[in-house]
Amino acid sequence: MSKLMDSIGRHITDQLGSLFQSESMGLVRLFEVEYHKDYRHALKSGATVTDDYVRMFLKSRDQFV
């Protein structure tokens, strides 16, 4: 029974770790670091910041530059 519980616990922590890791990589991580004020504003506004959100944000900034 103990091995089963250890296995289940390890599986859960591995899955949670990969969930948090994938969120902080790629475009979302770039947006979080480079545009931290806009990132915080988006989160406070209730937006879900995904790769697609970051692409749309960067496209909209490109039009004004």
**Which of 59, 4, 64, 5 has its CA nearest to residue 27?**
59
In the chain, domain spans: 2-64
**Is pTM, for the whole model, over 0.85?**
no
Percent of the chain with pLDDT over 70: 75
Q: Per-residue pLDDT for 4 more than 90?
A: no
The CA distance from 5 to 64, in Å, is: 55
